[in-house]
Amino acid sequence: MRLEIKSTNIQLNDRLRFLVEEKLSKPLFELLDKLDRKVDIILDVEIGKTTEHHHKGKIWLAEVNISLPGLKKVLRASAVTESLEASLNGVKNRLFTELKKYKEKPRDKSIHKFRHPR
């Protein structure tokens, strides 16, 4: 599993990297590790400010894209709030919901091919 962090309109420093790892990576890695350890899952995280000239209001953006085995699409969640921590928490909660749906889906499509005649 790989973590890629991109920053927009802010300088990515060690404190921000630690915050992303602490709020998102560790909980998501633990959940994703239970799914499949053999598949390389990439966690793309973008954090930043939506604009450079505003200082108040909902300006902090957090966005996460996850490619999972068995899905042709990417799981995506984003949040814009008044603090970076709140945006990261919002994204984490949305991703946990999506990942639970993913875990509950059957992986073997051959089970659904055969239907009983009516």
pTM here is 0.75
- List the domains of the chain with CATH numbers: 2-105 (3.30.160.100)
How far is Cα 66 from Cα 88, in angstroms, rounded to an integer? 15
SS (HEC) of the chain: CEEEEEEECCCCCHHHHHHHHHHHHHHHHHHHHHHCCCCCCEEEEEEEECCCCCCCCCCEEEEEEEECCCCCCEEEEEEEECCHHHHHHHHHHHHHHHHHHHHHCCCCHHHHCCCCCC
pLDDT by 10s per residue, the chain, length 118: 788 999 998 999 999 999 998 888 787 777 776 665 566 778 899 999 987 776 677 789 999 998 876 667 788 999 999 998 999 999 999 988 888 887 776 655 544 444 445 5
What is the pLDDT, as a whole number, of residue 37? 58
